[in-house]
Amino acid sequence: MELNSADAQFVERLSGRVSPDVFRPVEPRYLEEPRDRYHGKAGVLALPRTVEEVSALVGAASEARVPVVPYGGGTGLVAGQLLGEGAAPLVLSLERMNAIREVHVSENVLVAEAGAILSDVQAAAREAGRLFPLSLAAEGSCRIGGNLSTNAGGVNVLRYGNTRALCLGLEAVMPDGRIWHGLTRLRKDNTGYDLRDLLIGAEGTLGVITAAALKLSPQPAAKGTALMMVHSPEAALELLALAQEQVGDGVSAFELMHRNGFDFLSEHLPQLRQPWSEAPEWCVLVELGLSKGSDPVEALSDLFGEAMERDLAYDGLIAQSEAQAVDFWMMREHIPEANRKVGSIVSNDIALPLGSVATFIAKAPEKLAALGDFRLNCFGHLGDGNLHYNIFPAVGRDRSEYENIAVQAKDIIHGLVHEMNGSISAEHGIGRAKVEDLERYGDPVKLAAMRAIKAALDPQGIMNPGAVLRA
């Protein structure tokens, strides 16, 4: 079905239904993304304040057959927030819907509007003596609605699960403009299909999330952080298993990092302190969160001692202060920024069964070598099998020299991941960048079901057309 561009006539249709100041000039930031690889367009930009205004905007878009692109913090890396082709859309930013509506401390629940910045949600939980454990490098600018729409992951998935696991209920506007009042705080509700889980991860293609009831957790009484240098990814995986044997659910994060990431930091972010004169080939960043009466430094010392005895680790640093722990995490969190400054040929966000991670890391360079000379930076959330496997030009060469083989390089990685029963998108989503890859590697029955759901809920195809599924 052909869609129409959002224009002055569309704005006039909304006269009296929303405040005039809802509409704003379209600034360039709404049409760009962090890697500057995709660019969007907009016929109209709207910044509603209430769910009723979102309802009016989406309802009018449905009547006029105007595409709607929900916009969160703009931090997405697969172009889900940008529509570059077809009718000029209504770009719907929820940044003014940023309130923390309620905090129920005894229930460990916080209700936030979709435009709330993740770090503000974390702060509100902290003020209540609780923890909202979702943690991302972009947490100072990404918004809860976008986190939910992409089912964001981050560094604490190992212990707390991804965003889907942290949500009890949603308020959302459906493609016809009706409001779904699903903002339940219930832990159990077995009354039919779970619309919450359908909207989480849908990337705005089935409706607009406007608020969420989020799960909180107790703050760990004591935290400990360590860097441990390991001989190989195999050793890192054995160390992960050892840590879980010794500390159980106390392992909050377990991040794998490669020497090239540290070299990129030294080259482009030299102000960041690195605690070694020569970077290790492989190391892991381990964080523990323990209960009252436990000593995380002692637990990490015991873990490191056992790892040395088993020849899994050969050196290590246990943070002796919060400031030192922050320094360790600053390295990990700034690797993506250093990557952007180097300029990748291909960036891959993949997931693998834990038992296949080391095999993948060994095989991928061999397969890529047939195409040419590359630098590789493999890092990520080893505890949940999520690797960021990024391919860069060789020293002295530019990304533009590899344009003719970039797609082949991506196909090699995705093909190997598929062979190993992994996923071509672990936490970034599909957006528009990976639609063809989803069609190529996705299960056909699943894809058919997804298209049927999309057609049933959004028969006019106005919700973020071209994202996740081909328009």
Instruction: Determine if residue 71 is left, alpha or beta; phi over 0 gives left, psi from -120 to 50 gives alpha, anything else beta.
Output: beta
User: What is residue 180's predicted lDDT score, i.e. its pLDDT?
Assistant: 98
Q: Among 35-39, 266-270, 427-431, which is the least confidently predicted range?
A: 35-39
Examine the pLDDT at 309 and tell me if it is beyond 90.
Answer: yes
Token reading at 194: 């779970």
- Residue keyed to tokens 């979102």: 54
Give DSSP secondary structure letters for 337-384: HHHHHH--SEEEEEE--HHHHHHHHHHHHHHHTTT--EEEEEEEEGGG
User: What is residue 35's predicted lDDT score, i.e. its pLDDT?
Assistant: 87
User: What is residue 383's predicted lDDT score, i.e. its pLDDT?
Assistant: 94
Average pLDDT rounded to a whole number, residues 333-347: 95
More confident residue, 1 or 10: 10
- Across the chain, mean pLDDT equals 96
Q: Which residues neighbour 224 within 8 Å (Cβ) at sequence distance 6 or greater?
A: 287, 288, 290, 296, 297, 299, 300, 318, 319, 325
Residue 441 has phi, psi (to 5 degrees) of -110, -10
Give DSSP secondary structure letters for 220-288: PSEEEEEEEEESSHHHHHHHHHHHHHHHGGGEEEEEEEEHHHHHHHHHH-TTS--S-SS--SEEEEEEE
- Rounded to 5°, the CA angle 433-136-152 comes to 50
Beta-strand relationship, 208-215 and 109-113: antiparallel
The H or E element that residue 44 is part of is: strand 44-46
Other residues' Cβ atoms within 10 Å of the Cβ of residue 274: 17
Average pLDDT rounded to a whole number, residues 263-292: 95
> What is the C-alpha to C-alpha distance for residues 244 and 74, in angstroms, rounded to an integer?
36
Give tens-digit pLDDT for 64-114. Answer: 999 999 999 999 999 999 999 999 999 999 999 999 999 999 999 999 999
Beta carbons of 125 and 144 less than 8 angstroms apart: no
User: CA gyration radius for the chain?
Assistant: 23
User: What is residue 1's predicted lDDT score, i.e. its pLDDT?
Assistant: 73
User: What is residue 296's predicted lDDT score, i.e. its pLDDT?
Assistant: 96
